[in-house]
Amino acid sequence: MSDFWQGRRVLITGHTGFKGGWLSHWLLARGARVYGLALEPETEPSLFSQLDLARRMDHAILDVRNAGAVRQRVETVAPDVVFHLAAQPLVRRSYREPVETFSTNVMGTVHVLDALRAARARVAVVSITTDKVYENREWVHAYRETDRLGGHDPYSASKAACEIAISSYRLSYFQGSQVALASARAGNVIGGGDWAEDRIVPDFVRAGLSGQRLQVRNPGALRPWQHVLDPLAGYILLAQQLYAGKAAVETSFNFGPDAAAQRRVSEVLSSAQDHWPVAWDDKSDPDAVHEANLLSLTTEKAQTILGWKPRWNFDQAVGQTISWYRAVSEGADPAARTTADIERFEAAGL
């Protein structure tokens, strides 16, 4: 990573979450002045607490649905770079809490973007959505950034709506302004320190820690699995190029793994068992709420325009992830382990 980040003022929304924790830790190590805006961590443990981020960065606990508080925080920080990750990110929760999902994901994004309209100095903004923004037809080819947006479940629909809001703000307010805005689409991210509900790797780890058998609701689902550091490297590179004024990057980008990382949930579990022998049972429920079975992205645009490419293959992503959890469960320092993973990742490849 370049020295671009030394002393740079960076605002990360959702810094108390899984991806926000990894991103905060990485940028702090590169000399950035990192500020946060998020709710309290939802899980115990949380990566935020495991990395001791409350002490190491300037963070504020507030809700992105509070427009006034968001505006005040943005004005106080006066960021050079904004990474907007704050969201309600869970598909099954979105069925239970559709209003909260839409208000957090859509209006939360609008509040962040609207607060930036007053920017008087250069600001690079990377707004993170998801691979699920596409109208999923369960077809075998990978989705491009120009494919139709949509969403069956409230989470996917809310993120597709975010993309429309992002495009509207870019066209209506930010063309020719000090704000350079892009969206980033990635999904099925794994890595140490994710403790969220309804995610296969955290569920696997919890089963391992408790000595219980894992109950798997959809072992046949096919997904593009990637380690968290791969999309984060893309977000970081995108932010650097936005700040440099490269107009071609003020658009949307997919960040996903190589095609070989398209694997079924059962294959993820098999690979994880090589590092932690956790038993599991197929508990497929034909009456469960709808979740996509097949979804993948093409990353040609990110590779061509940004010069980004995924570095860790499927086995490396799963191996590094499960090894993180196992090492920490056996007494390793989470921050030291996270730093070691970042250093291994950086050595793998520019």
The encoded tokens of residue 84 equal 């907007």
Residues 6+ positions from 26 with CB-CB distance below 8 Å: 229, 232, 236, 342
Which residues partner with 263 through β-bridges?
A: 223
pLDDT digits (tens, 9 = 90+) for 81-129: 999 999 998 998 999 999 999 999 999 999 999 999 999 899 999 999 9
Other Cβ atoms within 10 Å of 243 Cβ, number: 18
pLDDT category, 197, cuts 50, 70, 90?
confident
Q: What domains can be seen in the chain, in order of their start residue?
A: 3-286+293-348 (3.40.50.720)
pLDDT digits (tens, 9 = 90+) for 234-253: 999 999 999 999 989 999 99
pLDDT digits (tens, 9 = 90+) for 11-70: 999 999 999 999 999 999 999 999 999 999 999 999 999 999 999 999 999 999 999 999
